Amino acid sequence: MAARRTTVLAGTLATLVLGTSALLAPPALAHGPGGRPGPGHGPGHAVDAERFARQVTTRGVWRHLEELQRIADRHDGNRAALTEGYEASARYVERTLKRAGYEVTRDPFTFGFEVIDAEALTLGTGETFAVDQMQYAPSTAEGGVTAPGSVPNDVTGCTADSWAGVEATGTIAVISRGACSFAEKAIAAQAAGAIGAVVYNNVEEMLFGTLGEEGLVDIPVAGAGQADGAAIVAAVAAGTPLTLEVRYHVEEEESFNVIAETKAGRDDNVVVLGAHLDGVEDGPGLNDNGSGSAVLLEVAVQLAKQKKLNNTVRFAWWGAEELGLIGSTAYVEELAGQEGELDRIATYLNFDMVGSPNYVIGVYDADQSTYEAPVDVPPGSAETEAVFTGYFDSRDQAWVDTEFSGRSDYQAFILNGVPASGLFTGADDIKTDEEVALFGGTAGIRHDPNYHTPADDLSNVSREAIGIMAPAVAFATASLATDTSAINGVSGPGDQGHHHGPSHHGKGRAPHHGHEHGGLLKAS
């Protein structure tokens, strides 16, 4: 699952800028005509969803997870985009799919990313602290800005009153996280006369933040960890000058998605399932998102044994999600540029982190019964959500809504009007007493304490969570491979046409930067 800022290549940090077009791809879904059936058309080739759910087992998923762990172990401990670990992960997925009988396509895309040249705050004593340049904040010149420090009188620095009586002109403001947005802190500091700002965290970790949009301030703004922030505040109190240097340059890179789809199924009604294959550089990424990738792979392997389907099922392992949802965005944006292609997609199902060790059973809240979505939710999304919730309800399995905030690869789909939902077992939100009552585990710590760390390895993936989620994914896949009429009014096999293999789409633009934010998924 994408974080606010993600390392790319050893020793660097990267986020997105506008990408460029990759190789020209053939038209999407080029299977054949396949018109919609008329009213009363029968169910055609139904897959027994209950039986299929039993065929996708924890044991089968675990074999894929074990291989992804071995791949990380052989490749510097990670499977991040643009690394050999990612390439090896993709080769494993491709080999497994080909053995199952799929035609597999690599879907290339090019994109720009920001390589960090400097991110540091240095005291006049020579002591240096790591900082993170906030998204949409200006860079410094080479060598940075040097000035005395200043601290607001209420530490959070949210308003002009916070700076009343403080000599802030020509200083680097040092501000605590909390009470208001990072943008409000930066704006207030600049209005008080500061020439730079550092916001330090109120928990023990680096602060990765965003100002939300460009042009809000003219001063560099960076995040820092809680302990470092305390040391910087002490240095300001002692009159020690500060030097803040944050700057980057843009490079162009290429990565790819892995795409496969069933040979059976009508060509004008496609169910798409996706999970991002890349992880972060800081660890093997076995929950984020080896778990979703492995479940998707086992579902694909078992579905290949079904020789007749009403609807085509397409599987996508997205690249460069951790850099800002790049692969999925490129894919959808190319489809959006081809008349009628997105209309062929009945719905999109997303699986990003489904094995969290302190898990919840989360379903994306497409009907907004708990969380109001920050974007328009496409019609049919609530009905897609209901496939999962209905499955869980039928088994007396507790579940909770997860905010439909756009923090994973479904973002581009819903922004382009494609119905979507999916499953999620939690990242860095804190587990509540109410969630413990429903799912067990430990209150007061994260759903995944190992999120984006070296400890996100196989030993910290929950077999129990996989055992709940994998059959749910299988059930939804089989159900929608048979009938999507509740979502888009289409039922029955239609005119199948001749299958020409999976489409692949390499053109598209990545969103600026990789920072998204939302409720249950990840905190700001």
Q: What is the pLDDT of residues 411-452, one digit of tens each?
A: 999 999 999 999 999 998 999 999 999 999 999 999 999 999
Whether residues 468 and 327 fall in one domain? yes
3-state secondary structure 204-263: CCCCCCECCCCCCCCCCEEEECHHHHHHHHHHHHCCCCEEEEEEEEEEEEEEEEEEEECC
188 located within any domain: yes
- Stretch (H or E) spanning 130: strand 128-130
- Stretch (H or E) spanning 358: none
Whether residues 275 and 218 fall in one domain? no
Whether residues 200 and 310 fall in one domain? no
Whether residues 23 and 57 fall in one domain? yes
Q: Are 78 and 283 in contact (CB under 8 A)?
A: yes
Query: Catalytic pick from 184, 321, 341, 383?
Result: 321
Q: Which residues, listed in sequence order, are joined to residue 106 by a DSSP beta bridge?
A: 258
Whether residues 183 and 103 fall in one domain? no
384 located within any domain: yes
Which amino acid appears at position 204 of this protein? Answer: E
Whether residues 64 and 159 fall in one domain? no
Q: Are 209 and 238 in contact (CB under 8 A)?
A: no
Full-model pTM: 0.79
Q: What is the pLDDT along the chain (524 residues), one digit of tens a residue?
A: 865 333 333 233 333 333 333 332 333 333 332 333 333 334 578 899 999 999 999 999 999 999 999 999 999 999 999 999 999 999 999 999 999 999 999 999 999 988 899 999 999 999 999 999 999 999 999 999 999 999 999 999 999 999 999 999 999 999 999 999 999 999 999 999 999 999 999 988 899 999 989 999 999 999 999 999 999 999 999 999 999 999 999 999 999 999 999 999 999 999 999 999 999 999 999 999 999 999 999 999 999 999 999 999 999 999 999 998 999 999 999 999 999 999 999 999 999 999 999 999 999 999 999 999 988 999 999 999 999 999 999 999 999 999 988 889 999 999 999 999 999 999 989 999 999 999 999 999 999 999 999 999 999 999 999 999 999 999 999 999 999 999 999 987 864 433 333 333 332 222 222 222 222 322 22
Residue finishing a domain among 240, 264, 281: 240
Whether residues 216 and 341 fall in one domain? no
Helix (H, G, I), strand (E, B) or coil at 55: helix
The CATH number for 381's domain is 3.40.630.10
Residue 200 belongs to domain spanning: 125-240
Whether residues 442 and 300 fall in one domain? yes
Which amino acid appears at position 49 of this protein? Answer: A
Give how many domains the chain has, as a whole number: 2
Whether residues 49 and 129 fall in one domain? no
Reading the block at residue 43, the tokens are: 């169910």
The confidence score (pLDDT) of residue 503 equals 39
The confidence score (pLDDT) of residue 492 equals 75
**Residue showing tokens 């999916």:** 422
Q: Angle of helix 292-303 relative to helix 463-482, nearest 10 degrees?
A: 40
Q: Is 321 a catalytic residue?
A: yes
**Residue showing tokens 């089989």:** 478
The confidence score (pLDDT) of residue 352 equals 98
58 located within any domain: yes
Whether residues 294 and 399 fall in one domain? yes
The CATH number for 213's domain is 3.50.30.30
367 located within any domain: yes
372 located within any domain: yes
Whether residues 143 and 178 fall in one domain? yes
225 located within any domain: yes
Burial of 203 (0-12, 13-18, 19+ CB in 10 A): exposed
DSSP string, 111-123: EEEEEEEEEEEEE
The confidence score (pLDDT) of residue 43 equals 54
Residue finishing a domain among 240, 270, 301: 240
Handedness of CA 483, 487, 489, 490 (dihedral sign): negative
Residue finishing a domain among 187, 217, 240: 240
501 located within any domain: no
Separation of alpha carbons 407 and 40, rounded Å = 39
Whether residues 324 and 385 fall in one domain? yes
1 located within any domain: no
The confidence score (pLDDT) of residue 520 equals 30
Which amino acid appears at position 338 of this protein? Answer: Q
